[in-house]
Amino acid sequence: AQSVAQPEDQVNVAEGNPLTVKCTYSVSGNPYLFWYVQYPNRGLQFLLKYITGDNLVKGSYGFEAEFNKSQTSFHLKKPSALVSDSALYFCAVRDLDQAGTALIFGKGTTLSVSS
């Protein structure tokens, strides 16, 4: 079965410092991985995705994510955090070798950036 784990409920970081939000996944086939961000009372906004190719994926607002097949991880990173990055972040996976299009989401990680 497909699954996503976000081991940290909350990540706290000071503005200007680098941030990492962790994600590990489990699929039987090849993974198609996403990061989305959600602001209060809003829908999810797409940040970036990995399907194949370069393991380092760059996305919106200066975010990037590194795919590590051996560790089945897809951690979200940003070199210098902004207060405006404070939000709820979701990692999601789809197994490309299985029928179906549904994304499986983690429980989310709240990022809090202090000034």
Partner 1 sequence: DTGVSQDPRHKITKRGQNVTFRCDPISEHNRLYWYRQTLGQGPEFLTYFQNEAQLEKSRLLSDRFSAERPKGSFSTLEIQRTEQGDSAMYLCASSRTSGRGDTQYFGPGTRLTVL
Residues of the shown chain interacting with partner 1 in the complex, contacts defined by CB under 8 A: 4, 32, 34, 36, 41-46, 49, 51, 90, 92, 96, 100-108
Nearest residue (CB) to partner 1, 45 versus 71 = 45
Nearer to partner 1, 81 or 91 (CB): 91
Instruction: Answer yes or no: are the C-beta atoms of 21 and 89 closer than 8 Å.
Output: yes
**DSSP annotation of 2:** -
Q: Which residue lies nearer to partner 1 by CB, 50 or 78?
A: 50
User: How do 31-38 and 19-21 pair as beta strands?
Assistant: unpaired
Closest CA to 75 of 35, 23, 111: 23
Q: Smallest distance from the beta carbon of 19 to partner 1, in angstroms?
A: 20
